Amino acid sequence: MSYSTAGLSRTVTLDDVRGAQKMLSGVARTTAMEGSRHLSQLVGAPVHLKCENLQRTGSFKLRGAYVRIAGLLPEERAAGVVAASAGNHAQGVALASSLLGVTSTVFMPKGAPLPKISATQEYGAEVRLHGQVVDETLAAAQEYARQTGAVFIHPFDHPDVIAGQGTVGLEILEQCPEVRTIVVGVGGGGLAAGIAVAVKELRPEVRVVGVQAEGAAAYPPSLAAGRPVALAHPATMADGIRVGRPGDVPFRIVGDLVDEVRTVTEDQLSAALLLCLERAKLVVEPAGASPVAALLAEPGSFEGPVVAVLSGGNVDPVLMQGVLRHGMAAQGRYLAVRLRLPDRPGALATLLGALSVVDANVLDVSHVRTDPRLGLTEAEVELHLETKGPEHCVEVGRALRDAGYTVMG
């Protein structure tokens, strides 16, 4: 049985979410709710972090995947399931299938990070690498479903998946009954839709705010058009919310129940990830940090208490290194400069001495002595520096110029 639209017109109700919560008892963890003093001071009201990054498989995706697969008929289970994902949904489907005794095949892009591929295999799925982008991978998974009869498990566009994700909303109301605003990242919309169904029925006055990456924000134009609109080339480091088109089922719910969808920049995502790591001691992927990015962007626009949903923590170590550098640069704590100096013994040591006077920490030095652009007695140096913030960056630049160096960038 392949993926079809049969049953997708069914709405998702609070009873569905409560049923999903019972089904997930003993399967999904009730994840921690951690207070953030730093964010609370910025917002001017209590801010709590809902730590789905600490969920089994490292994200909320297990909830929806388990509910969807558990609801299959015996003959559908016997045919197995298939999914397409670059990471979080893959792991959720793999573990859910293993727990339910169902064979799973997961298609992943050829460029998927090795830790995510390994984790998916370890949870029990057969992994097939296909395509360079998720759209190609998705097509391959759907073709596999047509050929084999396996059930395609969509990452967000199914009522059962949305009901499973909605259990996050029930937990938020139990853990923080005084909540006034819930901020959640949005890709296809399954998590935001599920939370909104659960919360709006029980506490209609609570605001639900969705957050999308600026380069992959399909919801604002879709909501304006009144129908799902596909983006030609969604682009963001936050692969967990890099979705080019809203799902049909979550789109209707988000349009009816989610109060607002905001966007954040890559710089804001980087800064949010860095803050989660440094201040909250939590490893969070860029998509999971998107609610924190929204709080950092406009802290005075949220009524508290606020709950920010950290939806996942599966971040590739290589990406983490780059994002942390990007986040430090966005906060003025990482400075790259190029300058020229005389090509003579001791010139580099003199330069480093000038930097030590202003307490700039040198992370990396690139020293070029042979280049057609350089004069016969010149050398070019590129420095990567750790600084203390924007004001310190200005101070470092001024010190270099005062010492007679021409800063080129």
- 3-state SS class at 111: coil
Q: How is residue 333 written in tokens?
A: 């704590």
Alpha carbon distance 147, 36 (integer Å): 50
- 3-state SS class at 393: helix
Alpha carbon distance 269, 288 (integer Å): 9
Rg (CA), the chain: 24
Q: How is residue 330 written in tokens?
A: 């966005």
Alpha carbon distance 158, 83 (integer Å): 13
Amino acid sitting at position 24: L
Show the beta-strand stretches assigned E in 156-259.
Answer: 181-185, 207-213
Torsion angle, CA of 280/286/289/290, rounded to 10 degrees? Answer: 160
- Examine the residue annotation and report whether 61 is marked as an active-site residue of this protein: yes
Taking each helix axis from N to C end, the angle separating 248-257 and 190-202, rounded to the nearest 10 degrees, works out to 40
Q: How is residue 121 written in tokens?
A: 């295999």
Residue with tokens 């967990």, as numbered in its chain = 240
Cβ-count burial 245-273 (b if 16+ within 10 Å, e if not): bbbbbbbbbbbebbeebbbbebbbbbbbb
- 3-state SS class at 211: strand
Work out the number of other CB atoms within 10 angstroms of the CB of residue 278: 12
Residue closest to 163 by CA, chosen among 271, 266, 65: 65
From residue 294, give the alpha-carbon distance in Å to each of 299, 304, 312, 391: 8, 14, 16, 24
Q: How is residue 313 written in tokens?
A: 């923590």
What DSSP string describes 305-332?
SEEEEE-B----HHHHHHHHHHHHHHTT
Q: Of these residues, 61, 104, 222, 270, which one is catalytic? A: 61
On whether the CB atoms of residues 210 and 260 are closer than 8 A, the answer is: yes
CA angle, 323 as apex, 259 and 409 as ends, to 5°? 115
Q: Known catalytic residues?
A: 61, 311
